[in-house]
Amino acid sequence: MVRTYALLAWTWTRAAMAYPASFAIMTVLGLAVAGMDVAVILIVFANTTTLAGFSRDETLFLYGTANLAFCLCDMFVSNIDRISQHIKAGTLDTMLIRPVSPWLQLAADRFLPTRIGRIAQAAVVLGYALSALDLDPGRLWMVPVMIACGIVIFTALWTLAGALQFVLVDAPEVTSAFTYGTGQLTQYPFSIYGRELVRGVTYVLPLAFVNWQPALYVLDRDDPFGTPEFMRFLGPVAALVLALLAALAWRQGLRHYRSTGS
């Protein structure tokens, strides 16, 4: 499966690199656009010392961990949200008769290697935050775990969004708001949001386990909302449950799909 995806992605990468100037410009442009999110954070902290109790470097840590996971998914699986275009064009039918998972084909379809600039930007911000913060080395094992869980959670969300388009064929913007909106939400301390919203993204849609709950452990901070400390370690469980639900939804979407007949 990994080899097949790599071959499909490499095909699109070779096509993109056939125009090296365009490739370089788009990569740098992606890096610059992603940098605007960091600029917003820096502007906020130019006028205050804390944001809902979190310092600038702590906020950059939250941003870096969430955005690194999100940008990796944006590069490797986000094209699933184009499934409605394939359904309307009838090209999904051809994917279903190939000896390769349609999910894999959709994820690799029109793969954009230029998104590597956004991944690099997120990695640089995270590296800076880790070097600037005085963190307990014994807690740093959680950082790769939270990034891995974030990747699984965002992948599951994109899969759910794709499965939803089997029903809402003409509403890809709705699902895009669902995926990209959640990515934006996780870039800041959850303490800036209302209690009910935080409960919803903890116990219903587990976005709190992308970075908020595990980050509280890494930063050795108490949860302003008073959740039990064991919640800091439930990221893998939340990611697994959401992934299973997404896989079930995707399977049901494919099972009930009716060809366009084209």
User: Could you please report the per-residue DSSP string of 101-115?
Assistant: -HHHHHHHTT--GGG
Q: What is the pLDDT of residue 261?
A: 57
Q: Is the pTM of this model over 0.85?
A: yes
80 in any annotated domain: yes
260 in any annotated domain: no
Average of per-residue pLDDT across 135-142: 94
Average of per-residue pLDDT across 154-173: 83
47 in any annotated domain: yes
261 in any annotated domain: no
The total of structural domains in the chain comes to: 1
Is 235's pLDDT higher than 90?
Answer: yes
Among the listed residues 234, 72, 71, the one whose alpha carbon sits nearest the alpha carbon of residue 146:
234
pLDDT band at residue 136 under the 50/70/90 scheme: very high
> How is residue 43 written in tokens?
């502007």
40 in any annotated domain: yes
3-state SS assignment for residue 54: strand
| Residue 133 domain boundaries | 2-255
136 in any annotated domain: yes
pLDDT digit string (tens) for 32-58?
888 888 999 999 999 988 998 899 999
Which sign, positive or negative, has the C-alpha torsion 127, 132, 133, 136?
Answer: positive
What angle, rounded to 10 degrees, do the helices at 2-17 and 20-45 form? 100
Q: Name the CA radius of gyration of the chain, rounded.
A: 19
Place of tokens 């899969």: 159
192 in any annotated domain: yes
Question: Do 75 and 115 form a contact (C-beta atoms < 8 A)?
Answer: yes
pLDDT band at residue 169 under the 50/70/90 scheme: low
Separation CA 221–CA 121 (nearest Å):
26
Separation CA 153–CA 131 (nearest Å):
26
Separation CA 79–CA 24 (nearest Å):
21
262 in any annotated domain: no
